[in-house]
Amino acid sequence: GAVVSQHPSRVICKSGTSVKIECRSLDFQATTMFWYRQFPKKSLMLMATSNEGSKATYEQGVEKDKFLINHASLTLSTLTVTSAHPEDSSFYICSADRSRDTQYFGPGTRLTVL
């Protein structure tokens, strides 16, 4: 149990385009999902907290207009990187809150912006 999926696992896009990443909790409902960014050989940086049916809460320094988050249902949250640039290239990982005491993580999405 507690499986979280992400799609796509890898994406390569041209600078200026937008990319959508999906995060799904497959066997449980998640009121809250989180989006993290991980730079090479670095720890995870929380970008935003996604709450079903309400606006996401962004961490300081994260541009909400660039990183659009939609938590449309209890099993799906999406992160859209708008007008992507090479500096947005990174490993993006989502997690979902199950039973209100533990976050379970997706496998991550590798974004490369050319």
* List of residues contacting another protein (CB under 8 A): 4, 6, 31-32, 34, 42-44, 46, 49, 91, 93, 95, 97-108, 110
Residue 107, token pair as written in the block: 């496998």
Residues paired with residue 37 on neighbouring β-strands, in sequence order: 45, 92
CB 13, min distance to another protein, A? 18
CB 33, min distance to another protein, A? 10
CB 37, min distance to another protein, A? 12
Question: What would the 3-class secondary structure string for 47-105 be?
Answer: EEEEECCCCCEECCCCCCCCEEEEEEECCEEEEEECCCCHHHCEEEEEEEEECCCEEEE
Q: Which is nearer to another protein, 49 or 80 (CB)?
A: 49
User: Identity (one letter) of the amino acid at 8?
Assistant: P
Q: Which is nearer to another protein, 18 or 102 (CB)?
A: 102
Q: Which is nearer to another protein, 4 or 84 (CB)?
A: 4
